[in-house]
Amino acid sequence: MTCDILVPNSDANPELAGRFILDGAKIKTFAVPAHKRLMAGMLKRQTYVDQGTRAVTAQSDPKAWIASLPANYWNSSRIVVRIR
């Protein structure tokens, strides 16, 4: 499972900030140099699953964490998350 993280650029077209890639039981991170802090910050944050009743981190449950990113960032004006 791969999760693309996109941010708007000056002409309002989203540009790739990085990717989270589920590799077995671990998450690999690719970050565009200009967005390393954003990607590192996202990786450290917990997200919520099961209708917001359970918090997970990239370390505690990598598969649930990566799958939850679109729902946890769906209304952000700065970040677009796309699973592929």
pLDDT in tens, 1-54: 999 999 988 777 889 999 999 999 999 999 999 999 999 999 999 999 998 899
Give the span between the Cα atoms of 53 and 59, in whole angstroms: 18
Give the span between the Cα atoms of 44 and 30, in whole angstroms: 15
The answer to whether the CB of 36 falls within 8 A of the CB of 17 is no
pLDDT at 77: 63
Give the span between the Cα atoms of 68 and 72, in whole angstroms: 6
**Which of the two residues, 82 and 31, has the higher pLDDT score?**
31
Q: What are phi and psi of 16, to 5 degrees?
A: -70, 125
Q: Is 0.95 topped by the overall pTM?
A: no
